[in-house]
A and B are shown apart, each in its own frame.
Chain A
Amino acid sequence: MISRRAVISGGIASVLGAVAPWPARASGWPRRIVDALGREVEIPRRPERIVPVFSSNTEIVAALGAADRIVGIDGLTHWPPEIADRPAIGNRLGFSADRIARLGADLVILTPARHAASLLLRPLATIGVPAVVMTHATVSEVLGNIVRIGAIIDAEPAAGALVRDLRRRLDGVATRRSGRSPMRTYFETGANARGQSFSVRPGGYTDDMLRLAGGVSVFPELSGLTQVGGEAVARAEPEIVVVAGGPREAAMIRARPGWDTIPAVARGRVITVPRGLFLIPGPRIAEGVELLARALHPSAFPEAA
């Protein structure tokens, strides 16, 4: 049996493993790439009218200096501020190939969530708008997505610089907290008014971020369903509770019946982290890791205190 510590340190090594420079530095047009679904997509010329669907893809395109080439976004995307007024091509009820066509898009970057892929890929293929699908299972894949998007929107230098910067910051956090044992954490990614609460999914990018910041989820065996109850949290004896959200979410934790008997909650060890930093697999993940590392291991970051 492998000890938990060995699994954790192995996981961190894989998180910071090499980002495949994919596709190999393309220079001319058209460019052909194979996306996360294994589809080969041809991009005939430099995209000038980009529709990134979902916040993560939008944030990456904007962070690569191409915010002015974004012509449409998902209705639930609000960051960065300079793109918030772009027309919405979808919302909770679905997505519109119609509106993407009206915007004259020449590149759509999407993620297979909320049925975006099943609703959009067929019409976009029919009308000849290249659509590239990204997935983001791990932090490593998120960094890879920055390189990939850089290649298809003709922003390779910016992508290389951004990935180097993010990796330098993540490495910096790892160096600062090295030698400290990981903080046993209940990381709550969401809750609803019916009293259900959800833990971070093991092996996902948010879980990677938690480990990079020097924490470890108290629910490493969850798969599929990530709903957990108060009893399970109490039994798992977390040293700290991290809630993705704001003061309202933290107050909800304390108000739940019985949760005051969880030692971490009773001792006031409940902190919140912004949802945008931890639940959007984009360029702000390093900021999230730095923030959480300072909260989990304050003594490693004396200047921040």
Chain B
Amino acid sequence: MTFVRILCAAGLLGAALGAGLCLGSEPLSPGDLVAALGGDDVFARLLRDWRLPRVLAAGLIGALLGVSGTMFQGVFRNPLAEPFLLGSAPGAALGATVAILLPLPLPPLVALPAFAFCGAFGATLLVLGLARALGVREIAGLLLAGVAVSAFLAATRSFLMLSLSDETIGLQVVLSWTMGGVQTPFWSELAGFAALAAVGLALAFGCAHGLDLLGLGEDAAVNMGLDLRRFTLGVLTLASALVALAVTWGGTIGFIGLIVPYLARLWGGARHSISMPLAAMIGAATMMLLDGVARAALPPAEIPVGLLTALLGAPFFLVILAKWSRR
């Protein structure tokens, strides 16, 4: 049964990859795509060396956001927990802004993920710390703390953008991070991105058993030998790292970390050893498809994919909220 689900998800992934390749300012039919890929003209080169790496990058971003969302929801045992709402994505965006705008003695490919991670992790700890200091126990309170911290971080980022960007590329690059748009990597950059993502996802899948125990309740988990404090901190660190990696190549793309884990649980059940790989595959397929739509919706321009995910995700969030509050 599990095998069938994984197989179906893999099929979905392949279909999304094909759709992502077909979508553009002038969509191709699958037949056209196959014919065009084999050619040696400019358009064939565009498909192979520009669109394909972009679609794959979108897929990796979706997988990272889906899995990190699953981890956040597992730790907080709540379907409303999401990297975007708990401060980690806005924190990563602030870190990325600092890395882009301040002159640093580090190459951008190191500085960007490192600062994004510091921002993501710092913001998550800040939200949790504030919630604890204020005596908040309910998830609603945690989300509200996240709202406050996110607003603060966004204001800080806007101030940095206004005061540090010059007339050159700075502001535009930072804006594309803010609105969420998949960057197109060169093949060599994609290889580095994919290697980091693979390590991160493998480590994340290693947390599956602990998350299952936590799902039984904190007391039960402790009784079964889980070091609650260490495990929670480890999972949040790792989830922040995944978010930071996703933000480095895609900017702040909201709600994927909310929708995808929900669908993965709906389809694969509560066991994280199944729901996490499913979340990775569903997340990848969703992002490849949505990024394609973002490229094809308003030709010849493209719209930031973060706007699409928010348009779809915000109503979805409300649906989950309604279900959860009727519990």
Q: Tell me which of B42, B299, B303 contacts A127 (CB under 8 A).
A: B42
In the complex, what distance in Å separates the CA atom of A99 from the CA atom of B299? 9
Q: Mark B9-38, 1 if CB is under 8 A from A, else 0.
A: 000000000000000111000000000000
11 CB-based A-B contacts, threshold 8 Å: A88-B300, A92-B301, A93-B303, A96-B25, A96-B299, A99-B26, A122-B184, A123-B184, A126-B50, A126-B186, A127-B42
Contacts A102-B26, A115-B172, A126-B49 known; A96 to B42 CB distance under 8 Å?
no
Q: How many residues of A contact B (CB 8 A)?
A: 26
Contacts A115-B172, A123-B184 known; A102 to B301 CB distance under 8 Å?
no
Inter-subunit contact A102/B25 (CB<8 Å): yes
| B25 partner residues in chain A, CB cutoff 8 A | 96, 98-99, 102
| B157 partner residues in chain A, CB cutoff 8 A | none
Q: How many A-B residue pairs have CB under 8 A?
A: 67
Q: How many residues of B contact A (CB 8 A)?
A: 23
Quote the shortest CB–CB distance from B40 to chain A (angstroms): 11
In the complex, what distance in Å separates the CA atom of A97 from the CA atom of B300? 9
| A123 partner residues in chain B, CB cutoff 8 A | 46, 50, 184
B212 at the interface (CB under 8 A from A): no
B298 at the interface (CB under 8 A from A): yes
Inter-subunit contact B299/A118 (CB<8 Å): no
| B26 partner residues in chain A, CB cutoff 8 A | 98-99, 102
Inter-subunit contact A95/B186 (CB<8 Å): no
Name the residue of chain A whose CB is nearest to the CB of B175.
A115
A172 at the interface (CB under 8 A from B): no
Inter-subunit contact B41/A97 (CB<8 Å): no
In the complex, what distance in Å separates the CA atom of A93 from the CA atom of B176? 12
Contacts A101-B42, A129-B42 known; A91 to B184 CB distance under 8 Å?
no
| A94 partner residues in chain B, CB cutoff 8 A | 300-302
Interface residues of A in 88-125 (CB under 8 A from B): 88-99, 101-102, 104-106, 115, 118, 122-123
Q: Tell me which of B42, B173, B186 contacts A105 (CB under 8 A).
A: B42
B43 at the interface (CB under 8 A from A): yes
Contacts A75-B300, A126-B49 known; A118 to B172 CB distance under 8 Å?
yes
Q: Mark A207-245, 1 if CB is under 8 A from B, else 0.
A: 000000000000000000000000000000000000000
